[in-house]
Structure 1
Amino acid sequence: MIDPFRIAVPQTDLDDLHDRLARTRWPNEVADAGRDFGFPLPRLRELAEYWRTGYDWREHETRLNELPHFHTEIDGQRVHFVHVRSAKPDALALILTHGWPGSFLEFLDVIEPLSRDFHLVIPSIPGFGFSGPTHERGWDIHRIARAWAELMRRLGYERYGAQGGDFGAGISMALGAVAPERVVGVHVNYLPTRPDPEAEVTLTPIEQARLDTVRQLMANRPPYQALQAATPQTIGYALTDSPVGQLAWIAERFDQWTGPDTPVDDERILTDVALYWFTATAASSARLHHAQSRGAVACPAPLGVAVFAHDITQSVRPLAQRHYDIAHWSEFDRGGHFAAMEVPDLLAADVRTFFLERLAADSERTRPTP
């Protein structure tokens, strides 16, 4: 059963948030700390004060409710999604999947341009936001992909494409393996490529530098990732109890992962943080790192890759094409990890190009022989 859903945060939750923000117990910071010890205190105070006194959740809630929201139960888990139909009845459907610490909000600015040519299904990952929390083990990217296949079946889509970044990229590729007869292609804007000692490939200086960055990350795992992978419940206590803790945990990712000329505005950051806060999904969303599988995700579907200059890592094509059927590859000199928020025009255009190419290729392949 699929039911309409409307966002309605109780006023008591808003009052509690403002009270907690007003009573924040702040740590000190050494002089001239900058970012040497973590997220800077002055910047966090600024964001927290605006969250308490200037930010209007009800305004954003009203705007979000202009979208068609739904929820359903799949594999024992509540799943929330936005479903926007194109004016073209026979349009291809795309399922767009966010990552961490994102949400369905990532795709707000690409809905209008993409819905001109595609039906859009934009779910919240189980354990995140209005699809959370989860209550049992096992919600890894493969189980989520199976849930997405069931969701698309329920919506009546026989053939569709998948797109995502961060965890959304892995889920989208896993969906290509779960439903290979239905997925016409997968487009990702995040595709880490690990060193491969057996690969006999020649790399350009730029590709070698990208691979060196991956090696550095593998040798020095980011603290947030290590904590969420090892003890998501432990960090979840702090983040679920303190709105400033939740704010710092997520705002630091936006601070570090966006391009220098494409920042995400404070209103969007606070709305994203608020989704985690009001749904108490800090721990359950972190468990996806705990469940994360190692190694390349199998994907038999044709793959489109968009590489953004300021992402955490940039893909190395000669290594990527050893594992995947690379049908489309684009490189951009702007944008970072949150491409749909930072450069929605670039991402939407690339997604559109890739999937229209896939439709054209399918049409050519199935055209009767004269």
Structure 2
Amino acid sequence: MPSPDRSSDAVTPFHLNVPEEELDDLRDRLSRTRWPERETVSGWKQGVPLDRARALVAYWEDGYDWRRCEAALNGIGQFTTTIDGLNLHFLHRRSPEPDALPIVITHGWPGSVVEFMKVIGPLTDPVAHGGKAEDAFHVVCPSLPGYGFSQRPKEGWPVPRIASAWIALMKRLGYARFVAQGGDWGSAVTTAIGASGDPAVAGIHLNMLVVRPTAEDLADATDQEKASLESLQRYMQDGNGYSQQQATRPQTLGYGLVDSPVGQAMWIYEKFREWSDCGGEPENALSRDEMLDDIMLYWLTGTGASSGRLYWESFRAFGSDKVMVPTGYSMFPKEIFRASRRWAERQYPNIIHWNELERGGHFAAFEQPELFVEEVRTAFRTLRTS
């Protein structure tokens, strides 16, 4: 992997070629896994069941091909550049359509840029995928600081700092006017981009929206709003232990994640099951290869601790900015929290697109790429000539 150029505003091509000895080390570690006993209840109530963990790891050791993913990432176009003292990795593909709209798409945890590999082609070249030339985008997908092949910060990099870096990145790439999209932490970053007041930002689209209802909202909640609140309450009681650990003790957690590939894998695999629209079976939503591609971006880069620190930096102020730019929202049914439009309009008063879909979950672009692409196209269609 090339050394970053820290001397200028250079944008440097990044060719990924993981040394074979790192892959050999991974297989060796997997073969020597020290397994716990099986869970004492049926199903996933205590986390990933032992038999499911063993099956995934057996495939990872003997059936998974990292070079396939590596070649796909290289084929999209990877680059690095240094902004605000940090070397940042990003995917960048320009559309063949000269009037394409630039877009920056941001992942979250436990995601990565591999979430977007299935949507970059349709977004950049819609004609080749059965769409219309006027819906084309120039696509930029950065890796969050401390995630994937972006540098691990040695100081605080909260969401507003990331948003500022993304705006600088888009301008550095020559995009004087652009839109932004995100889910999970990408939602928080995209919200901050939209709230920045920078005239280059034409609008945003979110596939996760976190808003806080008022006491008055709760007093006259609709049936749909009550269902959303009940879902959120279940998450707070039984599903957010990972966030509390990463928001309070990411360093302690990181020792296990960075040292043990099985520990890192199960920390993520559980969330693919919990947050995707999979009917309780993660492989119904994503293939083992797809899940392992994402896991590998944490394992190969040793970012189990650094990725968790974003929770330490920003979890308690997640997506709290008011956004005046045009905003689109796509609500996938298995999202962790499903906001109502009247709650959202206080924080996002300029909503130009709101759609509630029938399938899909937290990892929208990964799980339902066709629906995701159509939502992004529709949300930004009116902003192309304004």
Q: How does the TM-score come out when normalised to structure 2?
A: 0.90
| Matching residue of 2:144 | 125
Rounded Cα–Cα distance in structure 1 between residues aligned with 2:237 and 2:266: 25
User: Equivalent of 1:160, from 178, 181, 195?
Assistant: 178
Corresponding position: 1:306 with 2:306: no
| Matching residue of 1:285 | 307
Aligned length: 360
| Matching residue of 1:89 | 98
User: Equivalent of 1:222, from 208, 222, 240?
Assistant: 240
| Matching residue of 1:294 | 317
Amino acid in structure 2 at the alignment position of 1:266: R
User: Equivalent of 2:17, from 8, 27, 30?
Assistant: 8
Instruction: Give the conservation status (yes or no) of the 8 Å contact 2:360–2:368.
Output: yes
| Matching residue of 1:340 | 365
| Matching residue of 2:5 | none
Secondary structure in structure 2 of the residue aligned to 1:108: helix
User: Equivalent of 2:77, from 60, 68, 72?
Assistant: 68
Secondary structure in structure 1 of the residue aligned to 2:76: coil
Query: Structure 1: which 5+ residue stretches go unaligned?
Result: 363-370
Q: Report the alpha carbon displacement of residue 316 of structure 1 after superposing the two structures with TM.
A: 1.3
Corresponding position: 1:267 with 2:298: no
Rounded Cα–Cα distance in structure 1 between residues aligned with 2:219 and 2:325: 23
Rounded Cα–Cα distance in structure 1 between residues aligned with 2:277 and 2:34: 31
Matches within 5 A, 1:33-112: 33-112=42-121
Amino acid in structure 1 at the alignment position of 2:330: A
Q: Report the alpha carbon displacement of residue 203 of structure 1 after superposing the two structures with TM.
A: 3.8
User: Equivalent of 1:251, from 260, 266, 269?
Assistant: 269
Q: Report the alpha carbon displacement of residue 342 of structure 1 after superposing the two structures with TM.
A: 0.7
Q: Report the alpha carbon displacement of residue 157 of structure 1 after superposing the two structures with TM.
A: 0.6
Rounded Cα–Cα distance in structure 2 between residues aligned with 1:31 and 1:226: 24
Secondary structure in structure 2 of the residue aligned to 1:93: strand
Amino acid in structure 2 at the alignment position of 1:317: R
| Matching residue of 1:365 | none
Matches within 5 A, 1:9-28: 9-28=18-37
| Matching residue of 2:6 | none
Q: Report the alpha carbon displacement of residue 193 of structure 1 after superposing the two structures with TM.
A: 2.7
Instruction: Give the conservation status (yes or no) of the 8 Å contact 1:71–1:80.
Output: yes
Instruction: Give the conservation status (yes or no) of the 8 Å contact 1:2–1:71.
Output: yes
Runs of 4+ in 1 over 3 A off after TM superposition: 30-33, 198-203, 215-221
Amino acid in structure 2 at the alignment position of 1:322: R
Q: Report the alpha carbon displacement of residue 66 of structure 1 after superposing the two structures with TM.
A: 0.9
Q: Report the alpha carbon displacement of residue 200 of structure 1 after superposing the two structures with TM.
A: 8.7
| Matching residue of 1:170 | 188
| Matching residue of 2:342 | 318
Rounded Cα–Cα distance in structure 1 between residues aligned with 2:53 and 2:153: 29
Rounded Cα–Cα distance in structure 2 between residues aligned with 1:252 and 1:179: 38
Rounded Cα–Cα distance in structure 1 between residues aligned with 2:39 and 2:239: 25
> What do you get for the CA RMSD once the two structures are aligned?
1.6
| Matching residue of 2:167 | 149
Amino acid in structure 1 at the alignment position of 2:269: A
Query: Structure 2: which 5+ residue stretches go unaligned?
Result: 1-9, 126-135
Secondary structure in structure 2 of the residue aligned to 1:42: helix
Q: How does the TM-score come out when normalised to structure 1?
A: 0.93
Instruction: Give the conservation status (yes or no) of the 8 Å contact 2:39–2:49.
Output: no
Rounded Cα–Cα distance in structure 2 between residues aligned with 1:196 and 1:214: 15
Corresponding position: 1:188 with 2:206: yes
Corresponding position: 1:139 with 2:183: no
Instruction: Give the conservation status (yes or no) of the 8 Å contact 1:232–1:290.
Output: yes
Corresponding position: 1:241 with 2:259: yes
Secondary structure in structure 2 of the residue aligned to 1:132: coil
